[in-house]
Amino acid sequence: MHATQSCNKSMAEPSAASGTGGAPLALFDLDDTLIDRTGNFERWARGFVAALGFAEDGPEFDWLVAADQSGSTDRHELFAATRERFALQPSVGDLVASYSNDIARRATCDARTVDALATLRASGWRICIVTNGFTTQQQAKIRNARLDALVDGWVVSESIGAAKPDPLPFDHAIAICGGTRAATWMIGDDPINDIEGAWKAGLLTIWIDHGRAWTHHRCTPTHVATNAGHACRVLLGL
């Protein structure tokens, strides 16, 4: 899939907020920033182990959550280990495909975040999602969460052959949405992929802390927010 196919219709048909008049650009991470990836995975995992006859919150559920590593484990590696642990008959590829379809269907964006994004965009900000992952799955999440109508485009790592914290995804988002590094903010929950990556690319940053303390000493986020809606309010107050 070509990188330009990771953008939605509004990239080809720009709205007023996505013009070329020097509007500021907000780049948002997807998982655990705009959608509740952790909660969705845990709900999927409970259903998965229950279907195998195990307790929903027992040690098999705990093993799956630990093996997932907040989504950082490669999906084929995760399901190879899962297939072995539970002696499953389907192939790793089939398990990954089934999981990907299920987890994408669960993607939602809460109403407060939707309202905040709409307000930010109406104020003149351009918005682009920059996410690591498989193109088909991440685009399905974006559409199922109805985020495609709220943003000017998106960049998925598989589509361009580079993942955050590499600077290429950030630069690609700036190129397709129009803008400059100096007027671009990255908003995300991952200290390395989102904040350090964007910092190295010369962008301003907002870290979604989810109640955590900042312990990453190579850089410091420009601002800290509790969630994406809070981050939008920070941007509107600049």
pLDDT tens-digit readout, 33-61:
999 999 999 999 999 999 999 999 999 99
Return phi, psi of residue 206, to 5°: -130, 120
**Is 179 found in the same domain as 101?**
no
**Is 177 found in the same domain as 134?**
yes
**Is 134 found in the same domain as 99?**
no
* CB contact set of 149 (below 8 Å; sequence gap of 6+): none
Given 86, 105, 124, which residue is the final one in a domain?
A: 105
User: Mean pLDDT in the chain?
Assistant: 91
Q: What is the pLDDT of residue 165?
A: 98
**Is 228 found in the same domain as 167?**
yes
Q: How confident is the model at residue 141 (pLDDT cuts 50, 70, 90)?
A: very high
Average pLDDT over residues 207-212: 96
**Spatial distance between the Cα atoms of 138 and 132, rounded to a whole number of angstroms:** 8
**Is 136 found in the same domain as 21?**
yes
Q: What is the pLDDT of residue 17?
A: 35
Q: What is the pLDDT of residue 18?
A: 37
pTM to 2 decimal places: 0.89
pLDDT digits (tens, 9 = 90+) for 71-127: 999 999 999 999 999 999 999 999 999 999 999 999 999 999 999 999 999 999 999
Question: 160: closest CA among 135, 142, 126?
Answer: 135
**Spatial distance between the Cα atoms of 116 and 236, rounded to a whole number of angstroms:** 10
CB atoms within 10 A of CB 181: 15
**Is 144 found in the same domain as 43?**
no
* pLDDT value at 6 more than 50: no
**Is 122 found in the same domain as 48?**
no
Q: What is the pLDDT of residue 11?
A: 33
Average pLDDT over residues 206-214: 97
**Is 118 found in the same domain as 26?**
yes
CA distances from 49 to 55, 56, 136 (A): 7, 6, 25
Q: Which domain holds residue 78?
A: 37-105
* Total domain count, the chain: 2
**Is 125 found in the same domain as 91?**
no
